[in-house]
Amino acid sequence: MSDCLFCKIIAGEVPSKKLYEDELCYAFYDIDPQAPTHFLVVPKAHIPGPHAVTEENAAAVGHIYAVIAKLAAELGLENGYRVVANDGPDGGQTVGHLHFHVLAGRSLAWPPG
Ligand code: AMP
Ligand code: ZN
């Protein structure tokens, strides 16, 4: 999608601190980290958010969770981490391309605000 920030990051049109990439997904560090480790994993396909996950595109979501587990192990996040996908205004979504936040490196409060 031409006016989507994360599509532009995936295409290399907007710079990012890349952590991982394969045919289905792209991982990069969040520009405004909310924890000592905070990165995002996004499908390369433009999916507007969690509400737009369907039986047809859900394989990318499962793949992303497997990638997150692999990256967490590589980064030494053995004390745990949180995976968050925000949706819509009430969910706090600010970028309309499905993304999974991975937050780690401190004890995270629950429930979220
Ligand atoms: P959300 O609020 O759940 O939609 O998350 C969007 C996230 O994207 C926020 O945590 C932002 O800090 C992050 N973000 C926005 N622009 C960039 C960028 N150019 N590079 C990396 N992360 C970004
Ligand atoms: Zn997009």
pLDDT in tens, 32-82: 999 999 999 999 999 999 999 999 999 999 999 999 999 999 999 999 999
How high is the pLDDT of residue 97? 98
d(CA 32, ligand 1 centre) in Å? 7
Q: Which of 40, 51, 101 to mutate to test the pocket of ligand 1 (most atoms within 8 A of CB)?
A: 40
| Rounded Cα gap, residues 52 and 35, in angstroms | 27
Q: Give residues (CB < 6 A) around ligand 1.
A: 5, 14, 16, 28, 30-32, 86, 92-95
What is the pTM for the complete model shown? 0.98
Q: State the CB neighbour count (10 A cutoff) for residue 5.
A: 15
Q: What is the mean pLDDT of the chain?
A: 97
User: Would the pLDDT of 1 be above 80?
Assistant: no
Q: Which of 13, 17, 28, 95 to mutate to test the pocket of ligand 1 (most atoms within 8 A of CB)?
A: 95
Amino acid making up residue 74: E
The arithmetic mean of pLDDT across residues 22-41, rounded, is 98
User: Would the pLDDT of 89 be above 90?
Assistant: yes
How high is the pLDDT of residue 91? 98
